[in-house]
Amino acid sequence: MRHGADPLLPLHGDEAPLPLCGADVALPLRGGGSLRAGGPLPADAPPAATDWPAGCGPPCPAPPRPAPFSPGQPSGRALPLRAEGLGFTADGVAILRDVRLTIGAGPPLLIIGPNGAGKSVLLRLLHGLLRPTAGRVAWADTAPPGRRDAPRSQDAPRSQDAPRSQDAPRSQDALGVRDTMVFQRPVMLRRSVLANLEYPLQLAGVPRPARRARAFAALRRVGLEALADRPARRLSVGEQQRLALARAAALAPQVLFLDEPSASLDPAATRAVEAIVAGFAAAGTKVVMTTHDLGQARRLAGEVAFLHRGRMLEHAPAARFFAAPATAEAAAFLRGDLL
């Protein structure tokens, strides 16, 4: 989330979309206007949990048979994604300096490094939640229409894979966003598990029957289908993280940014999250993920980017990085030395 910003839902045609506080994925709102976090919802939005009888959510009808679920295969071609001389300074402190990175299709990219290296900031810059103070972020696809023609470092587009004027409303099979992000501590909307999935799909312009089918398919993917009626805020921490991943899966992103998604989870919940992440990668979604857990990096990474004091010191295939790091700093980090 952008520092000091009062988050707004990003709008189609707006100049500078911001993330919605309370959701993991920034989505365009069709028809213009703005929806402030915590403000009034559209008339056809699902009711809040406080409107339901105590202890339960809205009744979920029997799920329709979903269409084949193929995350990670939307129509656009967003990759490669390039960070070109990327820098970020806040309050006079240089957090990232001259970061150069090319992210192509393929296995997960794990971004590792000591505390304060700039991993989370880099992820937010790539996703467009922050604007670089130097350099730019460049996607392979074109800038969304309706935006000012500014450098990518200024408009940092996200969640777009084709002109909205040409694809709205979008069918279930056509839905696919360019990139989404799941945070370390996702915020659950005050709705049922199912409604937490359906509402972002509604904002994306997915018709109601397709929304329900896609939502159930995503819940089934993360093992939460039996909890569809439960208020999302009553889930365990691990279940909430799986729900956040389901929200991302329902949007079929080409690129999925994950900011330490298992940092606060126990080993069993971590294994479940890692299995879901591996499933994203196997289905063709490019996963870009930060972690402090070197064991997790070894299990998941196809390539590794090593950050140290705001600089990208290494970007290499995982096997080569872990066997023979090219820099003394990376070797010390792998040994567990204090950096």
Residues in the chain where the model's pLDDT stays below 70: 1-76, 142-175
Q: With CA atoms as reference, report the closest residue to 121 among 316, 312, 281.
A: 312
What does the block give as tokens for 107?
């296995």
Residues in the chain: 339
Phi, psi of 217 (to 5 degrees): -65, -40
Q: 257: which DSSP letter?
A: E
What does the block give as tokens for 287?
């996963």
Q: With CA atoms as reference, report the closest residue to 235 among 183, 276, 198, 194.
A: 194
pLDDT at 142: 52
pLDDT at 66: 34
Q: In this structure, how many other beta carbons lie within 10 angstroms of the beta carbon of residue 338?
A: 6
Domain parsing of the chain, residue ranges:
81-161+288-339
Phi, psi of 330 (to 5 degrees): -65, -40
81-161+288-339: which CATH topology?
Rossmann fold (3.40.50)
d(CA 61, CA 174): 25
pLDDT tens digits, 270-292: 999 999 999 999 999 999 999 99
pLDDT at 52: 36
Q: From the CA atom positions of the chain, what is the Rg in Å?
A: 20
pLDDT at 60: 42
72 and 285 in contact (C-beta within 8 Å)?
yes
pLDDT at 338: 84
